[in-house]
Amino acid sequence: MTSDDIPGNRADRTVAPVTTGSASASRSGAVIEATGVRRRYAGGFEAVAGVSFSVARGELFALLGTNGAGKTSTVELLEGLAVPDGGTVRVLGHDPFRERAAVRPRIGVMLQEGGFPSELTVTETVRMWAGCTSGARPTGEALELVGLSHRGRVRVKQLSGGERRRLDLAMALLGRPEVLFLDEPTTGLDAEGRRDTWELVRELRDGGTTVLLTTHYLEEAETLADRLAIMHRGRIVTAGTTAEVTAARPSRIRFELPEGVLAARLPLGLRAAADGHRIEIRTHRLQESLDELLTWARESDVRLLGLDARSASLEEAFLDIAQRATDNEADDEKVAA
Ligand SMILES: Nc1ncnc2c1ncn2[C@@H]1O[C@H](COP(=O)(O)OP(=O)(O)OP(=O)(O)O)[C@@H](O)[C@H]1O
């Protein structure tokens, strides 16, 4: 969903007014804080069902999740675009909806879909928003940050999807925000654009900006996030650093045995799944298992073809979590039937 669904918010999209006042945070020291947050839509559907997390100053936190998991619904509450139906949200120590005037000038928001007048040129659009933003970056600087300097005279309606995302980002950065909310910032960008955006976001974070990011790109979260949470059906299923989230997953060793060498000859200690000559070993002790395998191969004079050993990736953890959550729900439904 986008904030188009929330009446009265369209005019506020992507405004990122200037940073003012001294830094502040909640008593816990967190700059962004969600505690037991719930959000229900018309008809009673609960899209956010008790979500809690916090983001420290200068930290980059990524919210991941399956489609419809409730990421945007959660982030919009923190952006002050709607009021939670339960729990509390705090940004810079304030309620972002009720104390909007205190929060809004210090945050930058990049929604999932920007809503700019399509007949204006890129430069006119930035100038217009800069006019509502005290202390805004110069137009040229904002466009240069996102690699749009050469597109200033082009009308917004003529921009590609990826260029519009860049313009959205320029608007979010216009007021040099302390806290930046980025909802799927690189969707529609090509590989180079994505990397440029990562670089920029990393620089902002290194400069002290606190960032809350939602993304479907696991590599993006793996590359950028200090910590992350994975949501599924309105709840956070797991959270932590990438290393913590992947820690419980086994590493993987893959290779092919040459003709005439049977998988049964492999050492008993290596739990291997064989598909013909193709072998996959799953292990929680990657170094020891690899050592055992290579010793066996050397002593048996066996060449391991296409040998590939790797630690668990965030992608595997994500797919596993989504699958397990779906299986649990199927079991619950069976019990209820
Ligand atoms: N205005 C609305 N009215 C009713 N249901 C809604 C509304 N907006 C969102 N939803 C539902 O709430 C759930 C969560 O949506 P949300 O957009 O927050 O998920 P998301 O994790 O951001 O998804 P995606 O990754 O697909 O963007 C979905 O089931 C969605 O259909």
What atom of ligand 1 comes closest to residue 69's alpha carbon? 21
Predicted pLDDT at 336: 65
Neighbours of 335 (CB within 10 A): 7
Cβ of 72 below 6 Å from ligand 1: yes
What atom of ligand 1 comes closest to residue 74's alpha carbon? 18
CB 120 within 8 A of CB 157: no
What atom of ligand 1 comes closest to residue 67's alpha carbon? 26
Task: Select from 73, 113, 183, 184 the residue to mutate for testing ligand 1; criterion: most ligand atoms less than 8 Å from CB.
Answer: 73
Specify the residue with its C-alpha closest to ligand 1, atom 24: 67
What atom of ligand 1 comes closest to residue 75's alpha carbon? 18
Specify the residue with its C-alpha closest to ligand 1, atom 31: 68
Q: How far is the CA of 256 from the centre of ligand 1 (A)?
A: 44
Specify the residue with its C-alpha closest to ligand 1, atom 16: 70
Predicted pLDDT at 20: 33
Q: How far apart are CA 296 and CA 293, in angstroms?
A: 5
Q: How far is the CA of 113 from the centre of ligand 1 (A)?
A: 14
Specify the residue with its C-alpha closest to ligand 1, atom 26: 67
Q: What's the token pair of residue 196?
A: 């440029």
Specify the residue with its C-alpha closest to ligand 1, atom 30: 68
Cα→Cα distances 250→140, 245, 310, Å? 49, 12, 10
Q: How far apart are CA 101 and CA 19, in angstroms?
A: 12
Residues of the chain with CATH 3.40.50.300: 3-246
What atom of ligand 1 comes closest to residue 76's alpha carbon? 18
Cβ of 65 below 6 Å from ligand 1: yes
ipTM here: 0.97
Q: How far is the CA of 67 from the centre of ligand 1 (A)?
A: 8
Residue 65: which H helix or E strand, with range? strand 60-65
Q: What's the token pair of residue 152?
A: 């200033």
Q: How far is the CA of 88 from the centre of ligand 1 (A)?
A: 20
Judge if pTM exceeds 0.90: no
Complete edge-to-edge strand list for the sheet that includes strand 251-256:
272-275, 278-283, 251-256, 305-310
The mean pLDDT values, 10 residues at a time, for the chain of 337 residues are 33 32 59 97 94 96 93 96 96 96 92 80 92 86 93 92 90 94 90 90 94 93 94 92 87 92 84 82 91 94 94 84 72 66
Q: Which fold has domain 3-246?
A: Rossmann fold (3.40.50)
Neighbours of 121 (CB within 10 A): 15
- What's 114's DSSP letter? -
